[in-house]
Amino acid sequence: MQRSDLMEKVVSLCKRRGFIFQSSEIYGGLASAWDYGPLGVELKRNVKSSWWKAVVHDRDDVVGLDASILMHPKVWQASGHAENFHDDLVDCRVCKKRFRADHLENRDCKTKDKCDFTTARAFNLMFKTHLGAVEDEASVTYLRPETAQGIFANFRNVLDSTHKKLPFGIAQIGKSFRNEITPGNYTFRTREFEQMEIEYFTKPEHADECYQQWINQRFQWYLKLGIQEKHLRIRRHGDDELAHYAKGCSDIEYEFPFGWSELEGIANRTDFDLKQHAKFSGVDLQYNDQVEQKKYFPYVIEPSGGVDRATLAFLVDAYHEEEVQERTRVVLKLNHQLAPIKVAVLPLLKKNSEIVEMSKKIKNRLQKKCVCVYDDSAAIGKLYRRQDEIGTMYCVTVDVDSLQDQQITVRERDTMKQERISADQLENYLTEKLTNDSSILN
């Protein structure tokens, strides 16, 4: 399989098996907006919980937050988004389309060399809305273009309620909105998307070291969850690329079928945001360092990733086609933490009521421990293929012999190896095999 064909295959699988659907499809679809179906929502939840576990629960120095999407309009003045968060746009007088001035070379336009562009104009990417019934200037606010500002605005609240000492971080997962001019590449660039962000507050003199540590830790997270190393790289931003608030920034990039593209950015935001919010709100946002007996604004290191982009990268990287007994086997080799379904219980004969009963009993027992399904809607070969295609880690089969010897067959997804084990040992077996740590079965 060519890597260039991969995107089409993943998109087709996602639609066919219920990972991702076009938004408002029954009305002809809404461009660049996507809905996560029954399996997609499980996968995305697993991506988010793996992130939350790694950056909040497994550490002592990071706490969580869930701030509202709508914030006081002054937030966007203080953050600089009202003034600086724009793309330069040009209109073509011939094809009547609008393009980002920095994306003209690869523009999607049939008249290509005949295009006649206007001069570039700044276009703010924030979605404007009005609070309440009256649509005047006083009621204007914006859908947040990043979750980060909810964290800065709550810095004092978190500090006062948790008594955290530097260095410490605040993590948040949530929706953000940007009126992107050129969304595309499936779920890669959309106008509504989810971010996973950490604002890690540190002493200014420790910021550079902390920045390096976060780059390494975040890179390892993608590797641990199964992304192949050859498809990942770190790209440092040139000075001319830096956002208005950043002293340094590095992107973790994935080699998508459409090219190397950003999964996550790790930025040194200095003390820009806290200083700005202190100035615009009049609230003292300095850290009172009792050891050094002085007050100062901490520096901020910000690892900021996209849930949708990470999910897409995990899907693309997991997609495999293998020739098995003269058939093409499609298998999603997702990491066990991410696989939407851990176990499928499959009766070999659906007409044998005792086999069905034993299978359902096993499924009901397992369901209390992990996400599992029961399926008897086809012959066993087809059932295996269906589960491989969605990344199910183990298939458990109950057959006529199981009724006598209380043994079942467990088939592993990647190797297709089958083992016969005692039915009452299944939980122990899976706990050991799936994780080597029992938390996955909690």
Contact between 81 and ligand GAP per CB under 6 A: no
- CB-nearer residue toward ligand GAP: 150 or 391: 150
Whole-number Å distance between alpha carbons of 212 and 234: 11
Q: How far is the CB of 63 from ligand GAP (least distance, A)?
A: 18
Q: How far is the CB of 195 from ligand GAP (least distance, A)?
A: 5
Contact between 148 and ligand GAP per CB under 6 A: yes
Residue in the shown chain whose Cβ atom is closest to ligand GAP = 306
Residue 371, helix vs strand vs coil: coil
172, 64 contact by CB (below 8 A): yes
- CB-nearer residue toward ligand GAP: 235 or 385: 235
Contact between 146 and ligand GAP per CB under 6 A: yes
Interhelix angle 426-434/353-367, nearest 10 degrees: 50
- Evaluated on CA atoms 152, 156, 161, 167, the torsion sign reads positive
Whole-number Å distance between alpha carbons of 207 and 205: 6
Which helix (H) or strand (E) is 218 found in, with range? Answer: helix 207-224
Contact between 308 and ligand GAP per CB under 6 A: yes
Whole-number Å distance between alpha carbons of 265 and 237: 10
Residue 102, helix vs strand vs coil: helix
Q: Which residue has the tokens 């093409």?
A: 328
Q: Which listed residue (81, 309, 336, 342) binds ligand GAP by CB under 6 A?
A: 309
Contact between 248 and ligand GAP per CB under 6 A: no
* 160 CB-near residues (< 8 Å, 6+ apart): none
Q: How far is the CB of 340 from ligand GAP (least distance, A)?
A: 21
Q: Which stretch binds ligand GAP (CB under 6 A): 44-52, 191-199, 282-290, 420-428?
A: 191-199
Q: Which residues pair with 425 in a beta bridge?
A: none
Q: How far is the CB of 123 from ligand GAP (least distance, A)?
A: 14
Q: How far is the CB of 135 from ligand GAP (least distance, A)?
A: 26
**β-bridge pairing 168-177 and 62-65:** parallel
Task: Tell me the H-state helices in 282-412.
Answer: 307-318, 353-367, 380-390, 400-405
Contact between 413 and ligand GAP per CB under 6 A: no
Q: How far is the CB of 426 from ligand GAP (least distance, A)?
A: 39
427, 369 contact by CB (below 8 A): yes
- CB-nearer residue toward ligand GAP: 253 or 399: 253
Q: Which listed residue (169, 248, 265, 391) binds ligand GAP by CB under 6 A?
A: 265
Q: How far is the CB of 231 from ligand GAP (least distance, A)?
A: 16
Number of residues lying near ligand GAP (CB under 6 A): 19
Q: Which listed residue (306, 340, 347, 391) binds ligand GAP by CB under 6 A?
A: 306
Residue at 359: amino acid letter: S
Q: How far is the CB of 157 from ligand GAP (least distance, A)?
A: 19
Q: How far is the CB of 152 from ligand GAP (least distance, A)?
A: 10
Q: How far is the CB of 243 from ligand GAP (least distance, A)?
A: 7
Which helix (H) or strand (E) is 267 found in, with range? Answer: strand 259-270
Residue span 196-215 as binding mask against ligand GAP, x where in contact by CB under 6 A, dash where not: -x------------------
- Evaluated on CA atoms 331, 333, 334, 339, the torsion sign reads positive
| Cα–Cα separations (whole angstroms), residue 392 to 100, 293, 314 | 41, 56, 15
Whole-number Å distance between alpha carbons of 418 and 272: 57
- CB-nearer residue toward ligand GAP: 243 or 371: 243
- CB-nearer residue toward ligand GAP: 187 or 409: 187
Contact between 242 and ligand GAP per CB under 6 A: no
Residues near ligand GAP, by CB under 6 A = 146, 148, 178, 180, 189-190, 193, 195, 197, 262-265, 302, 304-306, 308-309
